[in-house]
Structure 1
Amino acid sequence: MIKFCSLVRMIFRALFAANFFMKQFWSEFLFLSFIFISCRTRARSHQWN
């Protein structure tokens, strides 16, 4: 039973760390995708002109 409790605590700690990491990752990913999309639209407008 003690082993199970420690396992659950370890899983919760891993989930918390993963949640924090995913938040950081998603903010970074959204920022990079925003830059990529703006660059593509700029290139497309240059092609049209």
Structure 2
Amino acid sequence: MARLKKWLGYALIAFVIFYLLTQPETVGTLVLSAFSGLGGAADSLSRFVNTLLL
């Protein structure tokens, strides 16, 4: 079972590298969307905390 997890991890890493090399614009868009989502979540959290404190 440990060997299977190890090989699946390697396969996943290989797929990600392949995807990065063949679709760089798509990956860039995905990363930008992910960071935008994280920024929005952080903004919402900060507004919530400010509302509690003020």
TM-score, scaled relative to structure 1: 0.59
Please point out which of 28, 31, 35 is paired with 1:26: 31
Identity among equivalent pairs (%): 6
1:3-22 matches, within 5 Å, as 14=19, 15-17=21-23, 19-22=24-27
Q: Deviations over 1:7-37 (max 9, x none)?
A: xxxxxx85221x2221011110111111111
TM-score, scaled relative to structure 2: 0.55
Query: What CA distance in whole angstroms lies between the structure 1 residues aligned with 2:22 and 2:28?
Result: 11
Query: What CA distance in whole angstroms lies between the structure 1 residues aligned with 2:29 and 2:22?
Result: 12
Structure 1: 5+ residue stretches without partners: 1-12
Q: Which has the larger radius of gyration?
A: 1
Q: What is the aligned-residue RMSD (CA, Å)? A: 1.8
Does 1:47 find its partner at 2:52? yes
